[in-house]
Amino acid sequence: MFTKHALGRGLPVLRTERLLFRGLTPSDDETIFRFLNDVEVIKYLNRVHLPTKLRARRLLKEIWISGARLESVHYGIRLLEQDELIGVISFQQWKEDKKEAQIGYMFDRRYWGQGYGTEAVGRMIRFGFEELGLQRIEGKCHEHNQRSQKVLIKNGMKYMRTHKHFSLFPKNGQDVLVYVKEQTL
């Protein structure tokens, strides 16, 4: 079982049939920046009022800061065969004492519709339950993000509630659907 303290020394490598998960490094910034600059990739994120390049820089900064503080766990998702970074997946708002976290993910648009999201989320959920000792994982997505809804549902997450006009900036708020999966003993 991994604790936050243990993960502070480095993330274990995770694998699926087609994917490799490794901790992010500064050399990944350029690739992440590229797909954060794709309007289709980021249109459901909470920073819609910011210009795309500024939004990308702030998100990268948040990833590094929250990881250093052990508030989150971010993995780079790579194609196993080519070692190409295609996305990022994370546990955010990780509350070790309550054994819960929120899962988040984003992928380079070139890799949408190929089952990578479902595969990655499934592996991360298993990691959370089996290796981090989580008992509850929450996933959120905007109501119009049907692809993300399908990924969560295919991984056994159940719809719980809707946050009305959810946003860091209320004028830009959209309804956000909340899905939950709990560890069954």
Domains and CATH numbers, the chain: 4-137 (3.40.630.30)
Tell me, what DSSP letter sits at residue 48? Answer: T
Residue 36 has φ and ψ, to the nearest 5°, of -75, -15
Is pLDDT above 80 for 182?
yes
Tokens of 72: 């989150």
Is pLDDT above 90 for 89?
yes
Greater pLDDT, 147 or 83:
147
* Sequence-ordered alpha helix ranges (H) in the chain: 4-7, 29-36, 39-42, 52-68, 116-130, 146-154
Residue with tokens 């993910």: 105
Distance of CA 157 to the CA centre of its chain: 15
Percentage of the chain modeled with pLDDT above 90: 50
Three-state secondary structure readout of 100-120: EEEEEEEECHHHCCCCHHHHH
With 0-12 CB in 10 A as exposed, 13-18 as middle and 19+ as buried, what is 51?
A: exposed
User: What CA–CA distance (Å, rounded) separates 147 from 169?
Assistant: 24
pLDDT on residue 132: 93
97-129 pLDDT, tens digit per residue, is: 899 999 999 999 999 999 999 999 999 999 999
Q: How confident is the model at residue 169 (pLDDT cuts 50, 70, 90)?
A: very low
Sign of CA dihedral 50, 52, 57, 60: positive
Closest to 71 in 3D by CA, of 8, 158, 138: 8
pLDDT on residue 59: 75
Average pLDDT (63-90) is 88
24-70 pLDDT, tens digit per residue, is: 888 888 888 888 788 888 777 755 555 566 766 777 788 878 877 77
Greater pLDDT, 124 or 6:
124
55-64 pLDDT, tens digit per residue, is: 667 777 888 7
Residue type, 2: F
Average pLDDT (142-171) is 85
Is pLDDT above 60 for 150?
yes
Tokens of 112: 């949408």
User: What CA–CA distance (Å, rounded) separates 36 from 108?
Assistant: 8
How much is the pTM? Answer: 0.88
Q: Which of 8-17, 31-40, 149-158 has the lowest mean pLDDT?
A: 31-40
